[in-house]
Copies of this chain bind each other. A is one copy, B any other.
Protein backbone atom coordinates (compact mmCIF):
# COMPACT_ATOMS: atom_id res chain seq x y z
CA UNK A 1 0.00 0.00 0.00
CA UNK A 2 1.26 3.44 -0.96
CA UNK A 3 -0.23 6.56 0.62
CA UNK A 4 0.42 9.91 -1.10
CA UNK A 5 -0.13 13.55 -0.16
CA UNK A 6 0.19 15.88 -3.16
CA UNK A 7 0.02 19.58 -2.38
CA UNK A 8 -0.69 22.26 -4.98
CA UNK A 9 -0.24 25.97 -4.38
CA UNK A 10 -2.50 28.02 -6.67
CA UNK A 11 -2.61 31.78 -7.11
CA UNK A 12 -5.54 33.23 -5.13
CA UNK A 13 -7.14 34.82 -8.18
CA UNK A 14 -7.09 31.54 -10.14
CA UNK A 15 -8.85 29.22 -7.70
CA UNK A 16 -12.14 29.51 -9.61
CA UNK A 17 -10.29 28.59 -12.83
CA UNK A 18 -8.65 25.41 -11.52
CA UNK A 19 -11.64 24.01 -9.61
CA UNK A 20 -13.34 22.57 -12.74
CA UNK A 21 -10.03 20.98 -13.77
CA UNK A 22 -9.68 19.43 -10.32
CA UNK A 23 -13.27 18.20 -10.44
CA UNK A 24 -12.65 16.41 -13.75
CA UNK A 25 -9.28 15.03 -12.57
CA UNK A 26 -10.75 13.57 -9.39
CA UNK A 27 -13.75 12.04 -11.18
CA UNK A 28 -11.59 10.45 -13.89
CA UNK A 29 -8.96 9.21 -11.43
CA UNK A 30 -11.56 7.56 -9.20
CA UNK A 31 -12.56 5.51 -12.26
CA UNK A 32 -9.00 4.17 -12.70
CA UNK A 33 -9.12 0.46 -11.82
CA UNK A 34 -6.06 0.65 -9.53
CA UNK A 35 -7.16 3.76 -7.63
CA UNK A 36 -7.95 2.98 -3.98
CA UNK A 37 -8.51 6.56 -2.80
CA UNK A 38 -8.11 10.00 -4.40
CA UNK A 39 -9.71 12.90 -2.60
CA UNK A 40 -9.05 16.62 -2.80
CA UNK A 41 -9.08 18.95 0.18
CA UNK A 42 -8.40 22.64 0.66
CA UNK A 43 -6.53 24.26 3.56
CA UNK A 44 -8.92 26.20 5.80
CA UNK A 45 -6.20 28.86 6.18
CA UNK A 46 -5.21 29.15 2.50
CA UNK A 47 -7.83 28.83 -0.27
CA UNK A 48 -5.09 28.26 -2.87
CA UNK A 49 -3.49 25.35 -0.98
CA UNK A 50 -5.05 22.17 -2.40
CA UNK A 51 -4.18 18.78 -0.92
CA UNK A 52 -4.78 15.41 -2.58
CA UNK A 53 -4.85 12.43 -0.24
CA UNK A 54 -4.30 9.33 -2.36
CA UNK A 55 -3.94 5.61 -1.93
CA UNK A 56 -2.50 3.22 -4.51
CA UNK A 57 -1.52 -0.44 -4.34
CA UNK A 58 2.08 0.36 -5.30
CA UNK A 59 4.38 2.78 -7.16
CA UNK A 60 3.57 1.19 -10.52
CA UNK A 61 -0.09 2.11 -10.08
CA UNK A 62 0.87 5.69 -9.22
CA UNK A 63 3.09 5.83 -12.32
CA UNK A 64 0.23 4.53 -14.45
CA UNK A 65 -2.02 7.27 -13.01
CA UNK A 66 0.55 9.93 -13.91
CA UNK A 67 0.57 8.63 -17.51
CA UNK A 68 -3.21 8.72 -18.05
CA UNK A 69 -4.79 11.02 -20.61
CA UNK A 70 -6.69 12.94 -17.93
CA UNK A 71 -3.58 13.47 -15.79
CA UNK A 72 -1.27 14.54 -18.63
CA UNK A 73 -3.94 16.89 -20.02
CA UNK A 74 -5.34 18.45 -16.83
CA UNK A 75 -2.27 18.79 -14.57
CA UNK A 76 -0.44 21.16 -16.96
CA UNK A 77 -3.64 23.25 -17.18
CA UNK A 78 -3.70 23.47 -13.38
CA UNK A 79 0.05 24.14 -13.14
CA UNK A 80 -0.33 27.24 -15.31
CA UNK A 81 -1.88 28.87 -12.24
CA UNK A 82 0.55 27.70 -9.56
CA UNK A 83 2.31 30.19 -7.31
CA UNK A 84 5.00 27.67 -6.34
CA UNK A 85 5.93 24.09 -7.12
CA UNK A 86 3.83 21.20 -5.85
CA UNK A 87 5.04 19.06 -2.94
CA UNK A 88 4.65 15.27 -2.99
CA UNK A 89 4.99 13.03 0.06
CA UNK A 90 5.01 9.26 -0.46
CA UNK A 91 4.30 7.34 2.70
CA UNK A 92 4.07 3.91 4.27
CA UNK A 93 1.84 2.86 7.14
CA UNK A 94 3.96 3.75 10.19
CA UNK A 95 2.62 1.03 12.45
CA UNK A 96 2.69 -1.98 10.13
CA UNK A 97 4.26 -4.98 11.83
CA UNK A 98 6.56 -5.59 8.89
CA UNK A 99 8.13 -3.19 6.43
CA UNK A 100 5.87 -2.47 3.47
CA UNK A 101 7.99 0.00 1.54
CA UNK A 102 7.30 -0.28 -2.18
Residue numbers of A with Cβ under 8 A of B are 3, 5, 19, 22-23, 26, 39-45, 49-51, 53, 89-95, 101
Q: Are the C-beta atoms of B51 and A95 separated by less than 8 Å?
A: no
Q: Are the C-beta atoms of A92 and B53 separated by less than 8 Å?
A: no
Q: Are the C-beta atoms of A3 and B53 separated by less than 8 Å?
A: yes
Q: Please tell me how many copies of the chain the complex holds.
A: 2
Classify the interface of chain A: helix, strand, loop or mixed: strand
Tell whether A89 pairs with B51 under 8 Å between CB atoms, given A22-B95, A26-B95, A95-B26: yes
Q: Are the C-beta atoms of A94 and B42 separated by less than 8 Å?
A: yes
Tell whether A51 pairs with B91 under 8 Å between CB atoms, given A5-B5, A41-B3: yes
Q: Which residues of B contact A53 (CB under 8 A)?
A: 3, 5, 53
